Every structure is written in structure tokens, then in C-alpha cells.
Amino acid sequence: MTFSPSRYDTMQYRRCGRSGLQLPAISLGMWHNFGTNANHDVCRNMMRRAFDLGITHFDLANNYGPAPGSAEERVGQILKQDFSDHRDELIISSKAGYRMWPGPYGEWGSKKYLVASLDQSLRRLGLDYVDIFYSHRSDLNTPLEETIGALDQIVRQGKALYVGVSNYRGPRFVETMELVKARGWTPITIHQPVYNMRNRWIEEELLPETEKYGAGVICFSPLAQGVLTNKYLDPAQPIPQESRAADPDGYLQAEQVTPEVIAQVRELAPLAEARGQTIAQLALAWLLRDTRVTSALIGARNVQQVEDCVGALANLEFSAEELSVIDRLFPRA
């Protein structure tokens, strides 16, 4: 497979905390768009176009689908089809924490689950190792030493190069980083939290801590599952047929797309237009304006959406007046 020789010319790469790892400012995630019901050619074209645009990071988890595991299987097929000569140019990540198989060992944060889950993920992906492996959620019923110790073991076994946590609140993250420091374990290189204009909790609770401890931050749902786009602004079709809110397997529910929410988003339109951006580009640029954010993790459904998101990087500067408008519409946590 031949890719564009200029693929690294315009993408921005940001160092992940104090590590040597650099990530593209826009990363491609496979949460609800690479599962069993997805069109294989569309998925393949998205990954190929993303790489041509300099997106070197593809993000997965064991349970991504639906069905659980199917996203890793599909990505494994595409990696074999198109990327076999480019493995060393890619960052492939996966996670474990949510329910994956029946019984007491199929979810949460035990060493049994994390190690077994990664072994399964590697088989589905057809890889010897992943670049980043995450504890997908905090487990208050399993000793933190066991969960984080399992991440250290996984790196020492050569099954992952870096490790991270996802969905850990600020105090739990601090506890984790102090434990790693005390034990001399593999550093927690990255945190993956939800962050967007409508959900700003990390600004006060997490970003000061990731900066203090030298961890990178990659944010999922930067467009609030598509709400922070022009997708739901047509009064004649408030829930478009191809939208996440119309997908029975989707995380976003139609009742969450309220008139009040859409009224807020509609007020972003003139601001985006004045900046020469789409609403999605504005939302991504706003998130990436903070240099403590390493990457924004998009969940595109087609090539056009990938291209639109990458276009956000053309303008990441905001005036005080623009930020004031956004703060008024979407107040800080």
C-alpha cells in the first residue's frame, strides 16, 4: 500500500507529558464506528485517509464494537491489508476495564482480567504488542496496587510500550501517580478522560494534576458524540437518520439532544463562521488550544468527517472575546 509522501508535513505532533512519545493532535478512535455493523470499505478508507493526513494513532478497547471485540478484529484485518509495512509508524492502543466476557474475571481491574484481556486483544489485532495499554476505569473493589502493578507487569513482558489510565477522577489519578512513584513502576504516560465544551470537569480537577506529574492527556468525545457539530441543527430533521442519536446501539440517546442543548450549539455557528471553521472544527480547536491536551480523539463515520476534523488545526488561536462567548454558552464546571 502506497501512502502520501507528504503525510507528516502538516499534522501537529505533541509530546505526551514528559515522555518521549509524541501523538498527533488529532487521533482516530474506533469506539462505535468499526464494529460488526460497520461497512468494511468505509472503515478501511477512513484509516488510510487518516494516515495520509498524518494521523498515526488508532485507539481501541477490548469491548469496542458492537459486538465487543469486533472493532479490534476489523482493525486487525485492515492493519494486515494496508499497514503491514508501516507498523513502526503507528501508535495502536487498547484498554480493558468494562465487561467483556461472563463471570467474575471479565471486567474491572484485577490482574487476571487485564492480562487475559490484553492477550485476547493482541490476537484480534494480529500484533505482538500494543503501543499504549490502559486501565479503562477505576476499580474501587480491587487494590490499586494490583491494577497498576498489572500495567507494570504488562510493559515488562513486552506486551505494551506505554501504559495509561482512562476515566480516573482527579484524586484517584493522584493516588495512582504517587503509587507508581513509590514503587518505581512503569510511568503512567497518559490519561484518557472525556472533555468537551459541554463537559469541562478536567479543567479544575485533572489538568493541573496531569501537568504536575508529567502525563499526557488525550480527550475522548471532544464533539460530545456529535452534538457539537451542525448535525442536529435542522429543525425539519432534528435527529438525522445517520446520526449517533438515531443509532439503537449508540451511546448518545435521542432524548439527550434537547432543544435547549441545540439552542446553545446554534449560537456557536456565527462564531465558527467568523473564524472560517465548521462548528466541529471550532470545538476541536477550542479543546486543543490548551497545550496540556496532547490529542483529541475523534470518532468519525466517514472520510469527510476525518478531513473536517483535521481542518481544525489551521486555527487554534482564540481571542478573549471568543472565549467569553463559549464560557457564557458552556460555563466552566
Please, what are the domains in the chain?
13-329 (3.20.20.100)
User: What percentage of the chain has pLDDT greater than the value 90?
Assistant: 87
Work out the mean pLDDT of the chain and round it to a whole number.
94
Ordered alpha helix ranges (H), the chain: 40-52, 70-82, 111-125, 144-156, 170-183, 202-205, 207-213, 259-266, 268-275, 279-288, 303-310, 320-329
Nearest Cα to Cα of residue 226 among 289, 290, 305, 287: 305
Average pLDDT rounded to a whole number, residues 89-117? 98
Q: Say what percent of the chain tops pLDDT 70.
A: 92
- C-alpha 251/C-alpha 31 separation (Å) is 10
Grid cell listed for 77 = 484485518
DSSP-based three-state secondary structure for 161? strand
Q: What is the mean pLDDT of residues 228-242?
A: 65
Residue 234 has pLDDT above 60, yes or no: no
- Cell (9 digits) for 238: 432534528
In angstroms, the CA 56 to CA 92 distance is 8
pLDDT tens digit sequence for 41-64: 999 999 999 999 999 999 999 999
Give, in degrees to the nearest 5, the angle at Cα 299 between 298 and 302. Answer: 110
Is-contact 61 35, C-beta < 8 A?
no
Q: Which three cell numbers stand for residue 295?
A: 490529542
Encode pLDDT of 271-302 as tens digits: 999 999 999 999 999 999 999 999 999 999 99
- CA 145 to CA 142: how far, in whole Å? 8
pLDDT attached to residue 238: 54
pLDDT at position 79 over 80: yes
| Per-residue pLDDT at 245 exceeds 50 | no
pTM as predicted: 0.93
